[in-house]
Structure 1
Amino acid sequence: MAGGTYTLVLERSEGATIEVGALGRRQFPAGWYAYTGSALGSGGFGRIDRHRAVAAGENDTRHWHVDYLLGDPATTVDTVVTTEAAVECAVAGRIGDPTADGFGGVTGFGCSDCDCPTHLTSHERRDVLLASVERAHEAAAAD
């Protein structure tokens, strides 16, 4: 498989309200975010390079919700976790614990083509969020 599922771990150096296409204006406080998407087409994981180009200001095209977040100068790509399987919704649903302090999300973000509540989870600490992302990928791949 040339692609699969990926999660971008993003850092926001400062908070801002960002216009996110059809979702409208959303608040994005400073902190850490995990966006989960799929790269199943002919370009496979090359989609990650496109996301990095948007974050670097080298690509102004906005197709997906995450493009609007990446296009804000306060957002940087820290880490990418990948799994060579079509498990996007399973991974997104496993990141974070809604009952745990510190986890949040942006309702409707990145999930206009599925029934998930969000594909963008946030946490105040990188280590906690990254550990959750890694566990989610491992668990989804094992199913």
Structure 2
Amino acid sequence: MLKFKVNLGLYDPKKVKKISRDFSGGYLLLIRLSKAVKVKFGSVGTRLLEPGYYVYAGSAIGKAGWRLLRHIGPFRRRPHWHIDRLLNKRVAKVVAIGILPSMRRTECALSRMVSLMANYSLAGVGSTDCDCPSHLHYFKKRSDAVTAIKKAIEKVGGDH
């Protein structure tokens, strides 16, 4: 089992497969989209996503380990969350994960911080259960997305 702490580095999805199923906290998925693709995000509508890097903010209290495994699994998943609809596309791949252990819901704070550095955010995607404009943010360059993830985790902080 991996020990998770506030880490300004990113985790390799292959190593996160060993995560404790009881891990609680917020996470930021770094998703590489190798080419443009249309994605239907339920009631939010269909969007044409351009190639590049997307950062998705999520959290799960007590079940984040299972949720992360669901997100990074090589299988197609029955869409439950908006992010499932993107991750089911063959051109989308989770390439890194930022983790913030916490017993509080941190996804909105993480998402707000990431949005300040993003090229743009996809309105309504991933945020139907809160008042955030979005939980999915686009970056043209990987280095900018990585910087945004690290800064968001550092600024939001977790339960230490």
> Structure 2-normalised TM-score?
0.79
Partner of 1:68: 85
**Amino acid across the alignment from 1:118:** S
Shift of 1:23: 1.4
Partner of 2:60: 39
Shift of 1:142: 6.3
Partner of 2:94: 77
Partner of 1:3: 24
Shift of 1:60: 2.7
Structure 2: 5+ residue runs without aligned partners?
A: 1-21
Q: How many pairs does the alignment contain?
A: 136
Does 2:127 correspond to 1:111? yes
Over the aligned positions, Cα root-mean-square deviation in angstroms equals 1.7
Shift of 1:81: 0.5
Alignment partner of 1:49 out of 69, 94, 97: 69
State the secondary structure of the residue aligned to 2:57: strand
Cα separation, 1, equivalents of 2:142 and 2:114: 13
Question: Percent identity among equivalent residues?
Answer: 29
1:39-63: per-residue Cα shift (whole Å, max 9, x none)?
A: 214x23221110112xx2x133110
Cα separation, 2, equivalents of 1:12 and 1:50: 18
**Amino acid across the alignment from 1:46:** W
Cα separation, 1, equivalents of 2:158 and 2:101: 12
Shift of 1:3: 1.1
Cα separation, 2, equivalents of 1:111 and 1:133: 18
**Amino acid across the alignment from 1:48:** L
1:12-60: per-residue Cα shift (whole Å, max 9, x none)?
A: 000011111221211110000000001214x23221110112xx2x133
> Structure 1-normalised TM-score?
0.88
The answer to whether the Cα contact below 8 Å between 2:32 and 2:92 also exists between their aligned partners in 1 is yes
The answer to whether the Cα contact below 8 Å between 2:101 and 2:158 also exists between their aligned partners in 1 is no
Cα separation, 2, equivalents of 1:96 and 1:33: 11
Alignment partner of 1:135 out of 134, 151, 157: 151
**Amino acid across the alignment from 2:42:** G
